[in-house]
Amino acid sequence: MPLDTQHFAQHNLLPKKMSNKIWDIARENSVVPSLTTQEPVIIGDNIIPTIEEKPRASMIGEGQRKRSSDLRFGSETLFRGKAVVLTEVSLETTLANPVETLRIIQESFGSALATQIDLAILHNRDALTGEQISQDANCIADTTQRVVLSEDVNRVKKDINAASALVASHSLVPNGVALDPAMIARMVEAENPQTGAELYPNLNIGATNAGLVNGLRSAVGDSVSGRTYDDSEDSGIRGVVGRWDAVRWGKTATISMKKIEYGDPTGNGDLQARNYVAFMSEILFGWRVLDVNKAFAAIETGAEAPDTTE
């Protein structure tokens, strides 16, 4: 995609088509958006109606009085937050090759937003600090339904099925699985004990999309474990099976990105004095995980299962 660098230089704002591309990159590289449906989010309170008691139909005979049943609603509120990517680049770099610089920024910012969206909804975690985002927000990792990975790697298919069974026990049909790369490594090694055939013959160690896994749509990403950077905390989660429409999330408006030439936006000192420019991209989004202890089951390492991330 050619970059409108003249527009960018005049307005310090990315062309809309480039802003949209950043959002496309974020969605394509995110685990949660790959398994869920985005919905509109407004600036104010976002109330999600929920059904606490479902209506039931009944059979009546000819001339009999019709009978009613109750329909009772509840509500949940989306937690809203703003994801921001802010970085500095030397002025010499931007002038030497402005098109390539903007391309790299476009891709890296999209990837950064993807990571933050995943970490927020999966772990309620800030991507930069690793800290909890808010006590008012819930996340998929809150689920109390857990399956410990078997020591025998050849049982990985049974482990995934066990997580599916926990979700199905609540009369919910699981429709997706999020997988950590370490889980993919186990799946690639897994063999049928009787025949020696690979359990997942179409899967490769570097897979970013595992296709259908045990009949479930899949998405792969290191955000599943929460270990997206070398010094970030590993939750021990290697997979999450769920009814993914229980995740309600969306963004409020189109993504924006600005070029900042003056001031001290990062706290590193005056930009002009240091011959630097800053780039900032931000997006306001919200989420809420409904019935987290029913709709999701986490597959995690435990005392019986070695940590395969090393």
Q: Which residue has the higher pLDDT, 21 or 47?
A: 21
Q: What is the mean pLDDT of residues 201-224?
A: 89
Q: Is residue 65 part of a domain?
A: no
> What's residue 168's pLDDT?
97
CA–CA dist 298, 235 (Å, integer): 11
DSSP 25-66: HHHHT-HHHHHS-B----SS--EEEEEEE--------TTPPP
> What's residue 4's pLDDT?
44
CATH number of the domain enclosing 87: 3.30.2320.10
DSSP 160-203: HHHHHHHHHTTT----EEEE-HHHHHHHHH-B-TTT--BSSTT-
Per-residue model confidence as pLDDT tens digits over 66-114: 777 665 545 467 788 888 888 888 888 877 777 788 888 888 888 888 8
Residue 29: give the domain boundaries. Answer: 5-52+71-300
> What's residue 101's pLDDT?
80
> What's residue 306's pLDDT?
40
% of residues, the chain, pLDDT over 90: 37
Q: Is residue 61 part of a domain?
A: no
The answer to whether residue 182 scores a pLDDT higher than 90 is yes
- Write down the pTM of the prediction: 0.81
Q: Is residue 63 part of a domain?
A: no
User: Which residues, at least 6 apart from 235, have a Cβ–Cβ distance to it below 8 Å?
Assistant: 123, 141, 225, 226, 227, 300
* Total number of domains in the chain: 1
Q: Is residue 305 part of a domain?
A: no
How many other C-beta atoms are found inside a 10 Å radius of the C-beta of residue 5? 14
Per-residue model confidence as pLDDT tens digits over 267-288: 888 898 888 888 888 888 889 8
Q: What is the mean pLDDT of residues 118-146?
A: 93
> What's residue 242's pLDDT?
97
Q: Is residue 309 part of a domain?
A: no
> What's residue 260's pLDDT?
85
Q: Is residue 25 part of a domain?
A: yes
User: Mean pLDDT for the chain?
Assistant: 82
Strand partners, 75: 49
Q: How far from each other are the two terminal CA atoms of the chain, in whole angstroms?
A: 38
The answer to whether residue 3 scores a pLDDT higher than 50 is no
Per-residue model confidence as pLDDT tens digits over 7-36: 444 445 555 555 567 767 777 778 998 898
37-51, 187-201, 229-243: least confidently modelled range: 37-51
